[in-house]
Amino acid sequence: MNDRTCIVTRKAGAADDLIRFVVGPDSALVPDLKGNLPGRGCWVTADRLHVDRAAQRKLFARALKAEVKVPADLGEMVDRLLAKGALGALGLARKAGAVAMGAAKVEAAVRSGEALAVLHAFEASPDGVRKITQARRATALIGGPQILAYKLFSEAEIGLALGGANVIHAAVLAGDAGRAALRRLVALDRYRGGTPDEQATGAAVADEELAAEDTE
């Protein structure tokens, strides 16, 4: 296998599609999310399913050719690290002025094409999500960007990261800080099993609802 071959699927992939693991000084397995820790490493497809399978099948010791202490909660540990990184990147993006907060500002950022992505809290109401989804769909229909939406965090988590209470809807805006935050959101969403196809389906459903409302 080459250096970037998943130890579960035995398929090669790009660094962004895989998670690297190394052995720490105490023989504990360490997720190397930035891919820059020293030592022999192995790669796993960057989603929870494959990380869990690698642990269950005891593939890390075989791939690393060493005794490895695999944490019992490895899959959850990686999720926490990815979530922490995404929230931290959102905080940096806010400081750089690359985040819009509140339904009205998010919808405006979507319709202007300035938004790179939309983030809804778990607690977001269906009506609030629907209105922003309609704006995303309308923007794409007039030749604007395809703006994906993610639902990855609670209201409290988003509020803490962005320095404000009651943050239900947020938009990541164009710019270096915004793109860095988006990369982290994409990685977390992929790890949790989300796909862009789910977002497209949601947009289509919302568009159908809008058409139905127009005929009433």
* Segment 38-65, tens digit of pLDDT: 988 999 999 999 999 999 999 999 999 9
- Which segments in the chain show pLDDT lower than 70? 1-2, 195-216
Give me the pLDDT at residue 74, please.
Answer: 97
Q: 79-215: which CATH topology?
A: 60s Ribosomal Protein L30; Chain: A; (3.30.1330)
Round to whole Å and give the CA distance between 91 and 101: 12
For domain 15-72, give the fold.
Hypothetical Cytosolic Protein; Chain: A; (3.30.1230)
Q: How confident is the model over 91-110, as pLDDT tens digits?
A: 999 999 999 999 999 999 99
Percent of the chain predicted with pLDDT > 70: 88
Domain span(s) for CATH 3.30.1230.10 in the chain = 15-72
Distant-in-sequence contacts of 19-23, Cβ < 8 A, 24+ apart: 19/43, 19/44, 19/45, 19/46, 19/51, 19/78, 21/60, 21/64, 22/64, 23/64, 23/66, 23/68
Res 195: pLDDT: 59
CA atoms of 107 and 101, how far apart (whole Å) = 10
Query: According to CATH, where is 3.30.1330.30 located in the chain?
Result: 79-215
pLDDT reported for residue 93: 97
- For 121-133, how does the pLDDT look when each residue is reduced to its tens digit (9 = 90+)? 999 999 999 999 9
pTM (2 d.p.): 0.86
